[in-house]
Amino acid sequence: MRVRTLLASLAVALILVAGAVLLVQTLHDPGSDTPGVAVADGVQQIARGRYLAQAAGCIGCHTMRGGAEYAGGRTIATPFGDLYAPNITTDRTHGIGAWGADDFWRALHNGKSRDGRFLYPAFPYTDYTKINRADADAMYAYFMTVPAVAQANRPPALRFPYDQRWLLAGWRALYFQPGTFVPDATRSAQWNSGAYLVQGAGHCNACHANRNAVGATDNGMDLAGGLIPMLGWYAPSLSAEQGNGLGSWNSSDVVDLLRTGVSMRGAVFGPMAEVVQHSLQHLTSDDLGAMTAYLQALPPTVVAAPARQATLLAADSAIMQRGAAIYRDQCVACHKADGRGAPPAYPPLAGNQSVAAASTINAIRMVLNGGYPPVTAGNPRPYGMPPFGPSLDDADVAAAVSFIRGSWGNKAGAVSPDEVRSYRAVPIE
């Protein structure tokens, strides 16, 4: 009887705590009283807002392939089910045409819709909260110029219990703290400008960080790399030790990579290619330089190799010989015998941090599926890599990737045919 009473009391206490958290998260809107900023030049404000919308990559998520700009509908796959990006045109019924500047600020800063509903954090308000009020107002002014499109929004298709939106109150209490960017007085103006863009509108941590079981980024490992859920690409660490981060690059190479998608040190593929195409190529040289200065100043982070690599010895001589033969037949014409490639057209493999990353998925997927860097103003006709998945079996791909990861100074672990087999099934994005 005493145990039953104790359990009942505990259940009541948990219900009361949950109710209190829900109430606080519903009613508490830090920064909601931040006043809008008076603007003398509306044209200039709209231009600033358009620029920030590009920096934030809004069009990439809020536009279906072949659809009207910002009309929504694109599927955002998550481990918990599918979400569909909403319409953010000026349509008053389906879009944000009826929103005011305060409503828009609330969404960016506090992750709440106009009606007070919690927004799912697939919308990266955990990063956008760093955007200041003046810039939020500029973005709002720009979006109020986007033509209305009467396209209805699709409701989320999440599994239970993730479809219970009120549960986000607990998630927010644990993983979200609203707050605009605060400049570091000990750093240069350039560093602060870059930090503001990387941490806020650029929301780089949304991909370049690990996520836990409930989809929150590991704040203790900012920009330390992570597997992008559902897309099957690994966003490499931007702060890794041992020469694997951007700190070892020439700053001009980083700027080139962000602006054009290619550089003398490497090229971007997969989700990052879309980021460069829709967002980064439109930024000014000053802002790209500032982002580079910030990224190259990140403190180094040790990224431990997965435990499974401890069981994979450096590829034995037979595998290395097999991989070398495949490389000589299929790869050497572009990437050269010494692995230095012919950049920027054909990126180097020697010292390539994505090739030698703890995660093997990028190297395997590139060999299997090939790909292209993005089409950009600075690289309008990118050179691509053909897919070798149809012509090479799993053992061949494993040998080739193992050879690349263990040659020319690369010291990464070997790859097994089983890994290749598992990644053949990953959808191509």
The DSSP code sequence of 16-31 is HHHHHHHHHHHH--TT
- How would DSSP label each residue in 352-390? -TTTTSS--HHHHHHHHH-B-PPPBTTBSS---B---TT
Same domain, 55 and 168: yes
Say what the pTM is.
0.89
DSSP strands (E only) in 230-362: 233-235
The predicted structure's pLDDT at residue 318? 87
Average pLDDT for runs of 10 along the chain of length 429 = 51 45 53 64 94 97 95 96 97 97 97 96 96 98 98 96 96 95 97 98 94 85 86 87 72 96 94 96 98 92 53 67 96 96 95 87 95 95 95 96 93 90 77
The pLDDT score that the predictor gives to residue 21 is 47
CA distance to 296, 306, 405, per residue, from 301 (Å): 12, 15, 21
Give a yes or no: residue 31 inside a domain: no
Q: What is the pLDDT of residue 96?
A: 98
Report how far residue 391's alpha carbon sits from residue 334's, in angstroms, rounded to the nearest whole number: 18
Give the separation between CA 114 and CA 103, rounded to whole angstroms. 5
DSSP designation for 164: -
Same domain, 332 and 408: yes
Domain tally, the chain: 3
Q: Which domain holds residue 219?
A: 189-296
Are 325 and 393 members of one domain? yes
Statement to judge: residues 81 and 167 lie in one domain: yes
Same domain, 283 and 340: no
Pick the last residue of a domain from 296, 321, 350.
296
Pick from 130, 149, 175: which residue ends a domain? 175
Q: What is the CA radius of gyration of the chain?
A: 24
How many C-beta atoms surround the C-beta of residue 17 within 10 A? 11
With CA atoms as reference, report the closest residue to 69 among 44, 50, 45, 83. 50
Residue 221: CB partners within 8 Å, gap ≥ 6? 209, 210, 301
405: in domain: yes
The answer on 271 and 290 residing in a single domain is: yes
Q: What angle do CA 88, 89, 93 make, to 5 degrees?
A: 90
